[in-house]
Each structure stands twice: as C-alpha cells, then as structure tokens.
C-alpha cells in the first residue's frame, strides 16, 4: 500500500518555520487569553519584557515586540537610516533578497549596498573599503550596517568577527544592526552570553528572532542605545505593527525567554543539525558546502538525488543558494528518527 504523504512530510527539513509552537509558548498564550488586558502593549506582560530582556542582556534595554522578522528588521533599520542613506549588508542577506523591499519601504528609500563577503559573512576589511561618499551631496550617505546571525550560509559570526565589523562601523560613525532570526541557535553554537554576542561586541540594535525556535509569531526589536529609538513608536503605528492585542505576542516572548526555553530549543535544533550533517558526510557523492555551526545544513548533491527526495515527499530547493547547494534545516522539535529516516533513504 502506498504511503500517503501529509503536508508536514512534504516540508520536513525545508525550514524551521514549518514547525508549530513549543508547549511552553502555547500554554502562555492560553493563560494570556484568560481575562482582559490593556491593549497596544500597555499590559503587564509587555511592560515586564523590558526587565526580563534587560536581565538577559546584562544591560538596560528597550524592547518593542513585533509579529514578524520582516517588520523587526525593516523598522529597526528605519530608526538608523534616513531615506537618503546606505545600509551595508551581505548580498545574500535576508534584508536584501527576502524582504520584498521592506527595508527600502520603511526607510523611505534607503539604498542597500551589497557586500560579497566570504562564505556568507561580510568582512571588516571589505566593509571598510566600501564605505564612501560621506558628506558628498551627490551620493547616498553611509548610515548603517546589518549582519545576520546565523549568517546566510548557516555559519555563526564569531565574537572577534562581530567586534571587528562593529569597530569599522563605529569608526565611520555608523550604527550596526544584527538580524537575529536564529539568534538562539548562534548563541548556543558560540557558547557565549547574549551580552557578549551583542552590545559587548558593539551591536547597537538587535532583531531578536523567536518564531523559528518555538514561537507562533513573535519577534522583538531590542535597542542597546536608547537614543536610537527615535520615532519608532510612531513608525510602528503607521506601519500597522502596533498590535491592539500585543499581550499575545508578549506572552510568547515571555514564555520563550523564561526558564531557558529558548536555549533548550536551540540546543536540540543544533544537535539535530549536527546529526544530519555528520550523516550526510558519510556519502561520497554528497558534499557539505559550508560548516554546520547550528541547525542549517548546506549540501551539494546530484540532481537525481534531489529529484528522488522531492518525489518521496521532501521539499528540496536547489535554486535559491549559490553553487547549487541545497539547504536542510532542523528545528526545536525535530525527531531524531526523522533524521535517521532521511539518511537511510539517501543511503538506499
């Protein structure tokens, strides 16, 4: 009898966005649904996030919950970049290729300046050589830098790399933003503190990702420099991201960062990524394209294997990444047996 493929089967390993919410987050949403709460982020849950995140980052921070990573990135950059400004980023960065022009839209027309980098990461040297035109009225003006953690090839910027990029950024009197869509996965990979990976390394503003690691729809913009907040509350309202029932987003974030849920989830996702990567390395006709630092595995494999996997019900996209590498992603709830099944199918 033929096996009927479920929708979940078809998207297994396609992304860590395919998962549902972890139990702790779901319980928090149900609890937040009990009774009435002040709207527009004036509820107790939303207000308490400031203190909780400040404790985590060992510094007083200002937090704005959002419902999507696109909103977090674009709105964060809008506080740092005027309409005539430049945002320096990797050419494969999410803000450049996957945000449908949102950063340009929310900044009022800022220009994204693409850097080639090395293996998905920009370098301090290339950044330094690319910043130009400051004060020249005919040029868009250098304004901000954005790095992605994990980067576009699944690797983590190490602390020295972040510090060097931040030093160049601040030398030119620009501000630096971190797109932390997989912030927890990078943190676990580097085995450092949130403070060490952000403001202690020079980061000014962080898009704190949670949706990929156990939340339903919850991200946050975190400011390490209060003076950069500017008109963000008004920009969020104008952009439609001041949610009337913000307490449900805040409830997710509160549960996510409590009792190390986010760390536990990321550790499991990373462990499954390593398991998958090590298993694929055993096949002579499959090559690991980039180091597997966390939960994203980039591999080069023959087209016939890709076609076989797609026909078996897996979603394998070989058109999105350089060099025809395909991306496989594990998540907070990836079952080890699912990894074994995938590896055994390839072996057969």
Residue 126 sits in the same domain as residue 247: yes
What secondary structure, in 3-state letters, does 11-70 show?
HCCCCCCCCCCCHHHHHHHHHHCCCCCCCCCCCHHHHHHHHHHHHHHCCCCEEEEECCHH
Residue 241 sits in the same domain as residue 276: no
Please give the pLDDT value at position 318: 62
Residue 196 sits in the same domain as residue 288: no
The residue range of the domain holding 291 is: 7-20+261-347
Residue 265 belongs to a domain with what CATH number?
Answer: 3.90.1150.10
Please give the pLDDT value at position 259: 97
Number of domains in the chain: 2
Whether the predicted pLDDT of 319 surpasses 80: no
Whether the predicted pLDDT of 9 surpasses 70: no
Residue 74 sits in the same domain as residue 122: yes
Residue 1 lies in a domain: no
* Predicted confidence (pLDDT) per residue in 161-214, tens digit: 999 999 999 999 999 999 999 999 999 999 999 999 999 999 999 999 999 999
Mean pLDDT of 150-159: 96
Residue 2 lies in a domain: no
Please give the pLDDT value at position 323: 60
* DSSP at 3: P
**Nearest-CA neighbor of 49 among 259, 249, 266, 332?**
249
* Predicted confidence (pLDDT) per residue in 53-73, tens digit: 999 999 999 999 999 999 999
pTM: 0.93
Whether the predicted pLDDT of 3 surpasses 60: no
Residue 156 sits in the same domain as residue 130: yes
Please give the pLDDT value at position 347: 83
Whether the predicted pLDDT of 23 surpasses 50: yes
Residue 132 sits in the same domain as residue 13: no
> Do 252 and 28 touch, CB atoms closer than 8 A?
yes
> Do 185 and 269 touch, CB atoms closer than 8 A?
yes
Q: Which of 239, 260, 281 is the last residue of a domain?
A: 260
Close Cβ partners of 87 (under 8 Å, ≥ 6 residues apart)? 77, 81, 95, 103, 107, 110, 111, 112, 113, 143, 144, 145, 146
Residue 338 lies in a domain: yes
Query: pLDDT: is 110 or 8 the higher one?
Result: 110
Peptide bond into 245 cis (omega under 30): no
Q: Which of 213, 241, 260 is the last residue of a domain?
A: 260
Please give the pLDDT value at position 327: 92
SS3 content of the chain, % helix, strand, coil (to 5): 45, 15, 40
Residue 269 sits in the same domain as residue 244: no
DSSP of 253-284: HHHHHGGGHHHHHHHHHHHHHHHHHHHHTT-T
């Amino acid at each position: 009898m033929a096996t009927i493929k479920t929708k979940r089967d078809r998207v297994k390993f396609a992304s860590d966005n395919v998962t549902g919410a972890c139990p702790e987050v779901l319980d928090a949403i149900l609890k937040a649904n009990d009774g009435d709460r002040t709207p527009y982020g004036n509820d107790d849950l939303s207000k308490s996030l400031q203190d909780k995140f400040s404790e985590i980052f060992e510094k007083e921070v200002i937090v704005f919950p959002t419902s999507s990573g696109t909103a977090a990135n674009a709105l964060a950059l809008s506080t740092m970049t005027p309409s005539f400004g430049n945002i320096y980023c990797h050419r494969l960065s999410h803000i450049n290729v996957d945000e449908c022009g949102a950063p340009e839209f929310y900044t009022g027309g800022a220009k994204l300046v693409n850097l080639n980098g090395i293996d998905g990461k920009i370098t301090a040297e290339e950044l330094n050589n690319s910043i130009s035109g400051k004060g020249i009225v005919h040029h868009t003006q250098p304004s901000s830098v954005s790095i992605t953690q994990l980067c576009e090839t699944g690797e983590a910027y190490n602390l020295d790399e972040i510090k060097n990029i931040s030093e160049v950024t601040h030398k030119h009197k620009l501000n630096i933003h971190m797109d932390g869509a997989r912030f927890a996965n990078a943190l676990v990979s580097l085995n450092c503190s949130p403070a060490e990976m952000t403001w202690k390394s020079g980061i000014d503003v962080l898009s704190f990702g949670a949706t990929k690691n156990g939340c339903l729809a919850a991200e946050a913009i975190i400011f390490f420099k209060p003076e950069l907040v500017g008109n963000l509350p008004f920009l969020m309202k104008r952009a439609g991201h001041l949610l009337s029932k913000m307490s449900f987003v805040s409830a997710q974030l509160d549960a996510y960062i409590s009792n190390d849920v986010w760390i536990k989830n990321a550790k499991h996702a990373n462990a499954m990524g390593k398991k998958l990567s090590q298993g694929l390395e055993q096949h002579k006709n499959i090559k690991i394209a980039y180091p597997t630092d966390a939960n994203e595995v980039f591999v080069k494999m023959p087209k016939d294997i890709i076609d076989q996997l797609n026909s078996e019900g897996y979603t394998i996209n070989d058109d999105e990444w350089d060099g025809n590498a395909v991306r496989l992603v594990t998540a907070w709830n990836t079952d080890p047996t699912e990894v074994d099944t995938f590896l055994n199918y390839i072996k057969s």
